[in-house]
Amino acid sequence: MDFSVSDTIEFMPRLLWGALTTIEITLLSIVLAMALGLLLAVVRSSSSKMVTLPATIFVDLIRGTPLLLQIFYIYYVLPLAGVTLDAFTAGVIALSMNYAAYLSEVFRSGIVAVPAGQREAAWSLGIPARETMTRVVLPQAVRLVIPSVGNYFVSLFKDSALVSVIALTELMRAGQLLASSTFKHFEIFTIVALIYLAISYPATWLVRWVERYFKIGKLKDPVDPVRH
Partner 1 sequence: MIMISNDLSAPISKREIVDIRELSKFYGTYEVLKKVNFTVRAGERVVICGPSGSGKSTLIRCINRLEKFQSGNIVVDGVPLDDNPDNVDTIRREVGMVFQSFNLFPHLTVLENCTLAPMITRKLSQSAAEKLAFELLDRVQIANQAKKYPMHLSGGQQQRVAIARALCMKPRLMLFDEPTSALDPEMVTEVLDVIVDLAKEGMTMICVTHEMGFARRVASRVAFISEGKILEEADPDTFFDSPKHERTKSFLSRILSH
Distance set, CA 176 to CA 7, 69, 165, 183, 189 (Å): 15, 20, 11, 10, 8
For the bound state, the minimum distance from the C-beta of residue 131 to partner 1, rounded and expressed in Å, comes to 5
Q: Which is nearer to partner 1, 10 or 131 (CB)?
A: 131
CA distance 84 to 86: 7
For the bound state, the minimum distance from the C-beta of residue 222 to partner 1, rounded and expressed in Å, comes to 6
> What's the one-letter identity of residue 52?
T
Q: Which is nearer to partner 1, 135 or 208 (CB)?
A: 135
For the bound state, the minimum distance from the C-beta of residue 132 to partner 1, rounded and expressed in Å, comes to 9
Q: Which is nearer to partner 1, 49 or 218 (CB)?
A: 218
Distance set, CA 144 to CA 22, 101, 110, 212, 216 (Å): 28, 18, 6, 12, 7
For the bound state, the minimum distance from the C-beta of residue 178 to partner 1, rounded and expressed in Å, comes to 49
Q: Which is nearer to partner 1, 69 or 121 (CB)?
A: 121
List, in order, residues 6 or more apart from 128 with CB less than 8 Å away: none
Q: Which is nearer to partner 1, 114 or 163 (CB)?
A: 114
For the bound state, the minimum distance from the C-beta of residue 214 to partner 1, rounded and expressed in Å, comes to 8
Interaction site with partner 1 (CB under 8 A): 115, 117-118, 120-128, 131, 135-136, 139-140, 143, 218-223, 228
For the bound state, the minimum distance from the C-beta of residue 79 to partner 1, rounded and expressed in Å, comes to 46
Q: Which is nearer to partner 1, 2 or 221 (CB)?
A: 221
Concatenate the DSSP letters of all residues of 70-135 into one string: HHHIIIIIGGGGT----HHHHHHHHHHHHHHHHHHHHHHHHHHHS-HHHHHHHHHTT--HHHIIII
Are residues 166 and 91 in contact, defined by beta-carbon separation less than 8 angstroms?
A: yes
